[in-house]
Structures are given as C-alpha cells and as structure tokens.
Chains A and B, each alone.
Chain A
Amino acid sequence: MSSTNQADLLPALHRLQEKFGYIPDHAIAELAKAHNMAQAEVVGVIGFYHDFRRTPPGRQRLRICRAESCQAMGADALALHASTQLGVEFGATTADGEVTLEAAYCLGNCACSPAVMLDDELHGRVSAERLDAMLAEGRGV
C-alpha cells in the first residue's frame, strides 16, 4: 500500500485513538519503532493534527461548529450557551468527565446551520433547547 513505513502512521494513530480515546504516552516508543521514526517525529505528527489527543477525553465529545455559515445562523450564541451550561471552556472536559467540548470548523452541514456533532452523530438546525435535550439524553437523564 505504501512505499515507507511512516505512511502507515496516521492510520495507526487513528486505530489507537479509537481504542483508547487518546494516544497514551507508552505507545509513542512502540509507534516510533514500528514506523521507523524517531519518537520526537511521532510526537510532532500527533501534535500537528487537531484530532489526536494525548490525554483521555470525556465520555462524550461535543463539537460545535464555529465557522461562517453556522455563525450566520447563531452559532456564537449556541457556543456560549454550551460553554455556560457545561461550565467548561472550549477544548476542556467537564469536571465529571462526561463531556469534552470542542470547536469544529465546518461539519459539512452548512445548509442546516447551526450544526453540532455529538460523538459521530451529526445534528442540524440546533437550538439551545435541543442541545440541552441531547446532552441530557447522553447523560441518561
């Protein structure tokens, strides 16, 4: 499939993250060896991509689109609402470890703005009330 070992690194990182939710420190040396790279290079690749994280995420990942189309339909207010309700800044996880709040820059759902993604589930035309209901459902309330 590829001419160098390194070319398999991104798929390997995706598999690891799918399994653990993040890239654990102890995996770095192993990855470096398997892909014929220096550990620093592996860390460099992980750091470049927004998807990969080095610390465990919350049980759920809530991504709110902050891009132009969603802004035109009230995404800023929705983002503020989410941040206030959850009591965390973007990029952080709630104290109970339930939800990690992240910004997304376009989810490809621009004709149904504003859009959010809860784990891998896309939602469109999201109001503050609907966001609350989604989060409550996610918590099993």
Chain B
Amino acid sequence: MTQRIFVPRDASAVSVGAERVCRTIENEARNRGLDVEIVRNGSRGLYWLEPLIEIELDGQRIAYGPVNPEDVLGLFEAGWLQGGAHALCHGPSEEIPYLKRQTRLTFARMGVTDPLSLEDYRAHGGLKGLERALDMKAEDIVDAIDTGGLRGRGGAGFPTGIKWRTVMNAGGGQKYIVCNADEGDSGTFSDRMLMEGDPFCLIEGMIIAGLAVGADTGYIYLRSEYPDAWDVLEDAIVTATREGILGANVLGSGRRFELNLFKGAGAYVCGEETSLLESIEGKRGLVRAKPPLPALQGLFGRPTVVNNVITLGSVPWILAHGGEAYKAHGSGRSRGTLPFQLAGNLKQPGLVEVAFGMTLRELLYDFGGGSASGRPIRAVQVGGPLGAYLPESRFDLPLDYEAFAAVGATVGHGGIVAFDDSVDMAKMARYAMEFCAIESCGKCTPCRIGSVRGVELLDSMLAARPQHSNDDTLLRDLCQTMLEGSLCAMGGMTPYPVLSALDHYPEDFGLSPKQEEAST
C-alpha cells in the first residue's frame, strides 16, 4: 500500500528548505524502490520545527522536524516509514503539546489537508457552512454571525454582524464583498497561512457573506509580497469555479458569486479599508474621510463589506456549527478564537489559535518557550507596528479586546513580537515614526508631517543621550496631535508604540530623572 508523506508547501516552510527536502525524499524513496506518495500540505504552524515532515502510519501522522536535506538519508536508515526512532521525531503530530493545547476552529484544516484538494476540503468539514447558508434567509445568516459575536480580525474588532446588517439593509443593486488580504502588519502571518493552506475556506466565507448581504461579486485585495498565496488562490478559484462553487449557480442554488483576485503594490496604508478601495479603483491609495461608511458607499460608490481574511475565514465554521458554539469560546465581549502569531525573539515561534482570554505570559512562555536568545524578554509588541510595547509587568494581561484597550494597547490582528533585553526602545520608537513617514498616504497633516517631525525629535534625543538628559514634552505633545487629529489608524495609532516605549522604558531615552519619576 502506498504510504503518504506530508511535506508543507507553505511559503515559510519553503523559505527554510521544505522544497529541497521534498526533492531529497522523492529521490531517496525512488532509489529504495519505496511506494510513497508525497502530499504537499499547509503548515501546522509549528514554525520552529519547519520543515516539519509527517509520515502517515496506521492512520496516525508522525512528526519529524526540523528536517534538512542532509537529515533525509539518516531518517530512511532509521526506518522512519515504520516509525523508527530518530532524534528529530516528535511522535504523533496531534499529541505535540503546542498543537494539542490549541483550539483550532478557523485553522482546523491547517496543515492537515492538501490546500488545493477540494475532496480533502469536503472530507474535513468544508462547504457545510455554505450548504447551510444556502437554505437560510439572509437575516438568519447575519443573526448567526451576530450570535457568534464575531468581530473584525483585521485589528479594529468591529462587530461583523453589524457591518453585514448595514450592507444587507442598504437597498438593492450592486454590492460587493471585499476581502482585505493586505496583511502588512509585521509579526503577522495568519492571513498568508490561511490563503496558502486552506484557500477554499476563505472562498466559502466570502460566498456566505455575499448571500447574507446580497452581493454577487467579491474581490480579494492581496499584497504583492505574497506571490505563493497568489498562486494558490488563483488555482483554488479556478477549481471552485469549475466545480460550481463559484460562478452563476453556486452549488446549484441559482445564486451567483464571482470572485476576483486583485494584486496590491506595496503600500502598507492600503490595508486601511478606504485606501484599499481607492486602490482597487485604480487610484492613489489615499484614505477617504468617513462618513460615508464603505458599508453604504464603498467600492465604486456601492455598499461594500470589507472584511479581513481571518474574519471571513471564521464564517464557515460559525455557519456550520452555529453562533452559540462559537460564542462558547472566549472571554468578556471577545468571543471565539483568534489565531495568534508568535514572532520575533522566541524559541518556538508559530501560529497559536486559542480562545480569547489567555494571558500574554502563557503565549510567550508556555507556547513560545521564552526567548530564542536565552536572554530575558524585555518588551513585547502586540498588534503590529501600530501596537503598544508591553513590559513584563503587563504580561498577565488577558488577550481580550477590551482588556488591552483599557491600558492603551491593542490586540490588533493578533501578532505578538518579542524582544530580549538587548533592544533599544528609543530606536524602536524612532522606527515607529520612520515607518509612518514612509507609509503615510499623505492626506492628513498630523500623519504626513507629524511622523517626519517625530523622526527628527527622536534623532536629536538619540544623539543627546547618554551625556545629556532629554525632555519628552514636545514628543508627547506631537503624539497627542497625531492621536487626535489623524484621519485613520496610520497616524492615529503610530503614537501607541512611541508613547508606550516612553512610559515603560524612559531610561532608554535618556530622560531626566524628574520625568522618569513622573511616568512611573
């Protein structure tokens, strides 16, 4: 009987050698005359173990990793196809604590299936949500999302049900579903993983959204930095169209849904929803003033749902299992799960989908295993480049939208970047301002000019320390102007990392003792 070997095709796994390992395994198996089939799955998200190779044995999958091409011969010699012992063996994949302790709802198929096999997708619960939605009234679909308590996973945390209802009630005529796949936040990669590892899940979520609000056309705005996700989505859309999931007659229902893939062009600000819409319309990605809301006047002036990849990817599960089942997970007003992304200086970086409410410390140490360098973790940035830096005293904060907002931080898209004690927080604050200066769309003054002034101010502070003491009055004043006066989150949240660095690490800025006292 043919034995199956799973080698991830995920871009991150390939970036550390999965492709070469795959070729080496193929060659070695051929030389030995072994009957094996190599399946290119998505990544399980245990990135420190990538390339993570799985051998199917007696209905179980046994994990080996990280496997380099030069390890392959030894693995065959050790009899890995028969479960032979080897230093790289981690036992059954599902039993690895990192994976076992997770609650994988949105990422249930991640790393398990062949992303481009519709057969696999159906066999693992795919299309159940869509089939159910096709039998429901539009209002009932929106109600299910409302009941589940799903909130925008792109970072803003706006209730998805409210957004959908607004578009549903926005009259007749052309409406659009736009998927924001411009995952520009550093420290985040869950959108990329879902698109590369389970593309039909996103497609299914978008069709359900279309059924709910009365939209027959969708766009995926994908950042150009993700060429592998582009290829997978292109393939998946062709397959879904051929199989009658997309097109004029969705699963024989008589309902239409067409899906277009749109490539971004390297502008971070296009992850802001109105800038993204301008970009699809072929314009400079300038942020629009709101109102009007995109839900009422969005793409080409028509009512539009703009949702993040993970938001839409969570929809099929909610429809298949019901809003109540989703709501059963989570804490406070943050319901369900979030695929957190552990990155930066951690021993075990990767994708951790858990219910809201887990503490940062659990994620950093129980999952992340502490710093990769072995030095103490000094600062953690949560929620991308516009997220606050948190010191160890905040590590027991539960990951929950409201709990984070209460301390001037954000959960954002769930990216968690750890820094050890070699980090210079004044430099990180300068970087935040510099990033804003590079990526500002330029429409509003606080962001366009403020970020440049911020860089200048921090440059002079960096130059003055440690010989002279600095004063942060002007910098704090500038941050306040940006916070209150910017048109969107780009300028409006850039102060988060800057102010949090000032508050928690004043010593890095060469601040005079008086101000250090004031801020503690």
Interface residues of A (CB under 8 A from B): 1-4, 6-11, 13-14, 35, 44-45, 47-52, 65, 67-73, 104-113, 115, 117, 120, 122-125
Give the interface SS of chain A, mostly helix, strand, loop or mixed. Answer: mixed
Task: Flag B423-450 by CB within 8 Å of A: 1 or 0 each.
Answer: 1000010010001001101000000000
Which residues on the A side are within 8 Å of B280 (C-beta)? 7, 10
Which residues on the B side are within 8 Å of A13 (C-beta)? 265
Q: Judging by beta carbons under 8 Å apart, are B187 and A68 in contact?
A: yes
Interface residues on B, range: 35 or more
A136 CA to B400 CA, complexed, in Å: 47
Within 8 A of A (CB), among B98-123: none
B458 to chain A, nearest CB (A): 16
Q: Judging by beta carbons under 8 Å apart, are A122 and B11 in contact?
A: yes
A69-B343 contact, Cβ under 8 Å, with A49-B265, A105-B439, A111-B48: yes
Interface centre among B185, B282, B342 (most CB of A within 10 A): B282
Q: Judging by beta carbons under 8 Å apart, are B16 and A125 in contact?
A: yes
Task: Flag B216-232 by CB within 8 Å of A: 1 or 0 each.
Answer: 00000000111110000
Which residues on the B side are within 8 Å of A73 (C-beta)? 344-345, 372
Q: Judging by beta carbons under 8 Å apart, are A122 and B12 in contact?
A: yes
6 A-B residue pairs with Cβ-Cβ distance under 8 Å, sorted by A, are: A6-B283, A13-B265, A51-B224, A68-B431, A105-B439, A108-B225
Q: A108-B11, A108-B225 are in contact. List 10 more A-B contacts (CB 8 A).
A: A10-B262, A10-B280, A14-B224, A68-B344, A68-B428, A105-B186, A111-B12, A112-B16, A117-B225, A122-B12
Which residues on the B side are within 8 Å of A51 (C-beta)? 224, 264-266
A108-B349 contact, Cβ under 8 Å, with A4-B282, A6-B281: no
A14 CA to B349 CA, complexed, in Å: 34
Q: Which of B12, B188, B191 contacts A112 (CB 8 A)?
A: B12
Within 8 A of A (CB), among B251-284: 260, 262-268, 279-284
A4-B281 contact, Cβ under 8 Å, with A68-B381, A108-B192, A111-B343: yes
Q: Which of A104, A105, A113, A122 contacts B435 (CB 8 A)?
A: A105
Which residues on the B side are within 8 Å of A6 (C-beta)? 281-283
Asked if B184 lies at the interface with its beta carbon under 8 angstroms from chain A, I say yes
Which residues on the A side are within 8 Å of B186 (C-beta)? 65, 67-70, 105-106, 110
Q: Judging by beta carbons under 8 Å apart, are A48 and B285 in contact?
A: yes
A122 CA to B349 CA, complexed, in Å: 18
Interface centre among A49, A73, A111 (most CB of B within 10 A): A111
Please give me the residue from chain A that is nearest to B379 by CB atom: A72
Q: Judging by beta carbons under 8 Å apart, are A7 and B282 in contact?
A: yes
Q: Judging by beta carbons under 8 Å apart, are A111 and B349 in contact?
A: yes
Within 8 A of A (CB), among B362-404: 372, 381, 385
Q: Which of A3, A48, A110 contacts B417 (CB 8 A)?
A: A110
Asked if B488 lies at the interface with its beta carbon under 8 angstroms from chain A, I say no
Task: Flag B174-190 by CB within 8 Å of A: 1 or 0 each.
Answer: 00000000011111110
A1 CA to B191 CA, complexed, in Å: 25
A105 CA to B264 CA, complexed, in Å: 14
Interface centre among A47, A51, A68 (most CB of B within 10 A): A68
A140 CA to B431 CA, complexed, in Å: 36
Which residues on the B side are within 8 Å of A105 (C-beta)? 184, 186, 268, 385, 435, 438-439
Q: Judging by beta carbons under 8 Å apart, are A67 and B385 in contact?
A: yes
A14-B265 contact, Cβ under 8 Å, with A110-B349, A113-B344: yes
